[in-house]
Structure 1
Amino acid sequence: MKTLKIIPFLVFTILLIFGCETKSEQITNADDYTKYLGLKDNKSVTFAQNEIDFWQKKFDAAPNQISYLSQIAANYSTLFEYTGDIKNLYKTEELLIQSNEAYDYSRVSTVRSLARNYISQHRFKEALVLANKALAIGEGKKETQKLLFDVQMELGNYPEAVKNLNVIRDMNSFDYLIRLAKWNDHKGDLETAITFMEKARDIAEKEDNKVLKIWSYSNLGDFYGHAGRIQDSYDSFLKTVALDPNYSYALKGIAWIVFSKERNTEEANRIIDAIATTHNTPDFYLLKSQIAQFDGNKSEEIKNRNAYFSMMEKNNYGAMYNKYNALIYAEDKNTAQKAIEIAKIEVAHRPTADSYDLLAWAYLNVGDNKKALEIAQLHVAGKSFEPKIQYHLAMIYKSNNLPLKTKPIKDELLSSLYELGPNFEKKVNQL
């Protein structure tokens, strides 16, 4: 499953990847995907558990064979991907630290594996330290430069990211093409990003590499959704689950189409509830809360939001859900100050336009319009093309009586309603 983790930031996207439009033609058909819901068997999970048992016994019998630890760690990482259980991610970290310490951080593949684990945990600065350590070792330099691109993008160090991207340039390389797609998406050139992602998919199909096909199909599902190509998005997600029926990310993508495009809240909830039985993560409660809000069901909306926070309390997710926490707290004047505190931590951890957007939005919601505008103009405007960030920017402009800056963003957002979600339709129209 190693390749599935090549760009965690593309896959770890959790909630608002897709969006909304007026109710129009039917895209989905429950017969297409119902067979993938509520499956009892997950061959990937069973295989990973058997592998853990096998390698653990071997390690117990020969504790000097440190290489076994990496085998065990890789399978715990697979369990995390399929179950969402954070304990498996931390177990992976524990084993990789043990392995790295035994090797005195001299084995480059093990150092890189720990860096990828830290990326999944949103511990990006620590991941960068390890990536640079791997680069200094020198072995497998191109693999390390792929990792460096991934980390630098997360940290907002874009000139450094591009340097690493240029070094690994190879138009016949799947790994290069998906990063080139990521770079173009970051620049706001979605059409070019899709072109490169499709080239990567073609390579995966030509090589008949199941892991790469799953990865490229699911990410194309995202990209097509961004571009308003909803039928293509749906078809791409279906291709993903046909290869891996337990791939919850693609099923969630279908749930978003059902909710945002077709406004079928009952069916969207059915899909989400089925996924959550095997892959239980806090973001599912937030999605259900959004759906309840659209239905006008206040008690369900609050119930699911409370369930989200309850799950956050029961598990230590570190910084992984900081963005969502900040956005939720910012919505309520009574907790907006908390949003500022979280946003400041995010800015310190990763000074990207996304992090500064959280900070500007939080300041707007405590009534400090001028501070919000100052941050937005300096760190957000022209630096991110994500619709929700653009909506925040428009609201900040509006609150500072800048209608000439607000209107072009409103016009743009009206074409991004699918991605934003049904609850934003009224908000955008009121800009």
Structure 2
Amino acid sequence: MKRYLYFLALITVLLSCSEKKQYEVANANDYNKYLTVETPKTTSKYFELWNSKIRADSMQLTSFGIVGGEYNRFFKETGDIDYLKKAEKSLQRAVKIAAVGRAGYRRSLARNYISQHRFKEALVLAEEALEIGSDPRENRYLLFDVHMELGNYDTAEKYLDSIKNMKDFGYLIRLAKWNDYKGDLDTTINFMEKAKAIAISSNNEALILWSITNLADYYGHAGRLQDSYAHYLMALELDSNYAYAKKGIAWIVFSNDKNPEEALRILDSVTKNYQAPDYYLLKAEIADYMDNDLIRLKNLNEYFQKVDNPSYGDMYNAYNVGLFIDETGQYEKALELAKKEVFNRPTPESYSWLAYSHLKMGNLEKAKELMDNYVLHKTFEPALLYQAAEVYEANNDAEKVKDLKKELIGAVYELGPLMERQIQEL
């Protein structure tokens, strides 16, 4: 931890000396040492000890909970869906046999379901945990999280109000998320910075890692790219294998520094051992910018091969809708999958994909109706606003297109270089 605090102080000094204008942010000398490929460890003496206690007819409750937690950690470190499914099985068994800690095991299984985008199943478990009654604050945290994922924003706000405590890390990160949903990025960052300070003071490495990577994302949305870059580096100082931080740096290198070859080099080092499918989509996007069809198609193929695994379930529905529209031209397939996603998760994002699918099918009025009722003024995500702009342009609503274009021009970094020309042509 002392090493981290020293690194934090150094970064603070560097930031205070930096100019505010946009310029090339990343420097390979800062992150090269983190690109050395190390195979993540997917076992430990701790895991083996508790896993050895499980038998086919085992009633070892503690073993199931601990093993499930370890499988979840392995999933985060490798991106391998099989570990998430193994965690699910262990936690399902714990829920089934638990006489004590019943709410806690339900919360753990619910969070596993959230990771799998099985939000309605997660809600059932969260409500059961609340009814059991132990750890009421943790139960309300979970219910806020699930309702946000489901697009039940009024209900989520009620749970947020019920846990108010400005000195509590769990409350502050959710308050930040709520303000991000409302489009108030400055307030979002303010609360995340407070949460980060609490994490550091608690000496909890996992919370520090979580808070600084989320801050890095928010700083990027705000155009504070030097701050964003510095925080991704902080994360790698804590965990040199942290794929998400490397992905964040790769995006800065690609979108701001316009160095796609270097961005691919970073991502190639990640995907040697990290298996999450969306990393291949990012590599394909970068290759598209480079006009390198060989690399683009190779990575698209890698993506499709991975998501063909039925264990992924509905986790990549939104990505697949986009690919059916932009890559394969399977508009009817996109429409059906978008309808499924709205049923699973009726958020502005899901409705935007549904509207966009209708647009591509030629159902212009239906697309506009969906955007009017479920997307416009209900989200501030640039990718969704661009879809809305396309729908309104097709419906000859020049005023709305003009307003959306103003917002999109300020979000070119978030959308990436490939979108810059498309925004200008609106």
TM over 0.5, yes or no?
yes
Q: Match for residue 148 of structure 2?
A: 153
Residue aligning to 1:250? 245
Distance in 1 separating the partners of 2:309 and 2:267: 21
Unaligned runs of 5+ in 2: 1-20
CA contact (8 A) 2:37 2:272 kept: no
1:26, 1:187 → 2: CA distance?
A: 31
Any idea what SS the aligned residue of 1:160 has?
Answer: helix
The share of aligned pairs that are identical, in percent, is 47
Contact 1:105 1:111 in 2 (8 A): no
Match of 2:226 in 1: 231
1:285 aligns with 2:294: no
Deviation of the 1:41 alpha carbon: 5.6
- Trace 1:22-421 onto structure 2 (pairs within 5 A): 25-40=23-38, 42=40, 45=41, 48-60=43-55, 63-103=58-98, 107-314=102-309, 316-331=311-326, 334-421=329-416
- For residues 140 and 193 of structure 1, the distance between their equivalents in structure 2, rounded to whole angstroms, comes to 26
Write out per-residue CA displacement over residues 129-187 of structure 1, whole angstroms, 9 at most, x where no aligned residue: 00000000001111000000000000011111111111111000011000000000000
Unaligned 5+ segments in structure 1 are 1-22
How far off is 1:332 after superposition? 5.0
- Partner-residue secondary structure (3-state), 2:52: helix
CA distance in 1 between counterparts of 2:66 and 2:57 reads: 14
User: Separation in 2 of the partners of 1:76 and 1:373?
Assistant: 44
Cα pair distance change 1:41/1:299, threshold 3 Å: closer
Q: Is the Cα–Cα contact under 8 Å of residues 103 and 129 in structure 2 kept in the other structure?
A: yes
| Corresponding residue for residue 12 of structure 1 | none
Q: TM-score, normalised by structure 2?
A: 0.92
Q: Is the 8 A contact 1:24 1:262 kept in 2?
A: no
How many residues of Structure 1 are paired with residues of Structure 2 in the alignment? Answer: 406
Contact 2:176 2:187 in 1 (8 A): yes
Matched-pair contact (CA < 8 Å) for 1:38–1:277? no
How far does residue 210 in structure 1 lie from its aligned partner after superposition?
A: 1.1
| Structure 1, 66-75 or 203-212: larger mean CA deviation | 203-212
Q: How far is the alpha carbon of 1:69 from its aligned partner?
A: 0.8
Shift of residue 368, structure 1, vs aligned partner: 1.4
Give the deviation of 1:253 after TM superposition: 0.2
Is the CA contact 1:49–1:75 (under 8 Å) kept in the aligned structure 2?
no
> Any conservation in 2 of the 1:106–1:137 contact (CA below 8 Å)?
no
- Cα offset for 1:51? 2.3
Residue among 390, 398, 419 paired with 1:424: 419
How far the C-alpha of 1:334 sits from its partner, in A, is 3.4
C-alpha deviations, 1:266-317, integer Å up to 9, x for none? 1101100101112111111101110111111233222221221111124531
Confirm or deny: 8 A CA contact 2:59 2:97 kept in the other structure. no
Asked whether the equivalents of residues 85 and 311 of structure 2 are also in contact (C-alpha less than 8 Å), the reply is no
Shift of 1:26: 1.7
Q: 1:395 to 1:61 in 2, by over 3 A?
A: closer
Question: What is the rounded CA distance, in whole Å, between the counterparts of 1:92 and 1:190 in structure 2?
Answer: 35
Query: How many angstroms apart in 2 are the aligned matches of 1:334 and 1:389?
Result: 19
- Normalized against structure 1, the TM-score is what? 0.91
The higher-RCO structure (CA 8 Å, 6+ apart) is 1
Deviation at 1:104, TM superposition (A): 6.7
The AA in structure 2 aligned to 1:357 is S
Residues 186, 385 of structure 1: 8 Å contact kept: yes
- Whole-angstrom CA distance in 2 between matches of 1:60 and 1:353: 45
Q: Determine the C-alpha separation between the residues in 2 that align with 1:336 and 1:272.
A: 30
